[in-house]
Structure 1
């Protein structure tokens, strides 16, 4: 990985931040967005129906389904995985996908000894093209600050508990460089098709705040 993309390792950060105010901040953010949408609509600058179509596209057609396809291809095809880790932007173009957001996409791989997380400490840069709309919490100040300072605690908040000897690397996105996490392939999925594998990939697993679904979870969902 090039030096300019050096991550933050968890053992460098041992400060703790209070959780208070998280909910109120998100509520204020949502109110501001709604107010702005109302003003723009009333002035005739935007069409609410068009906004709905854009949101629907990013939620259901663009991402995170595209990212899941990319991860599934990497799990199933070692050659593609190598290309993805070398240059993710070029690799996804071989799948007929072309990034429109950001200049460069970098894929970082989770392993049994290393877990990666994505954050944008200065704003909310995010790989929209492959992950769709960013979750509200990704933009919040608590996530942006605490992920760098206490990533293990943040992961625990998301229900992810890792072995104590697992290194956690936090990658700081920018407008020029954005990241996608390549989660570990779940056990018991040998011989699965790419379509079936993609169903295991969650948005949070590609941000690093979650893990891919297990084979058992997928089978349980299919039988529901």
Structure 2
């Protein structure tokens, strides 16, 4: 699959992989903080953003997609930073193709199987698709019955867009995400990856817990964990300067 991606800046290559329901645009803020020192490649993952749609959503497939981007740009080895679903894709990339990853940064996710965290959101998004309101405001009125957090609601609604035909629809491949959610929630396999890894967790987030320590070190024996206090799952958006400083310090050490 040929993913959509954007390149900015110069220096050693740094790949940015976004999370579920996101796109490269969601990481634009931190991309700008990195581009003075690195060649930043921001990717739209499969079934998201401007990348093609496909029925598969396994992390092995996502890792292969990223390898294709690297091959297309003649990048033999890169730093890789992924958040949430993108963090899992980045981990699988490192485990499956360790020679292609120089250092790895994982944003607020562990290499473990998670429960069904998005059932309500997915039901709401399916309801929006079924009713097909022809405005973002109309979609919001439906979706807010399933998700009350304003920031999350706003984030999801960035995907409700007017199509080239003039009608409104989800930009993400919602049927594939629903059908393949078991793969999105899945644990990583392979490895271990013996190079340096930094896990960045939000102090108020529940995604990376002490109980995940053995799973992390089993696959990533050189891993370190850094907590950014007073942030949640979207720690890179809540405290971008602090997040970027920690990443740059890790990459340059």
Richer in helix (by share): 1
Whose RCO is larger (CA < 8 A, sep 6+)? Answer: 1
TM class, shorter-chain normalised? under 0.3
The answer to which structure has the higher strand fraction is 2
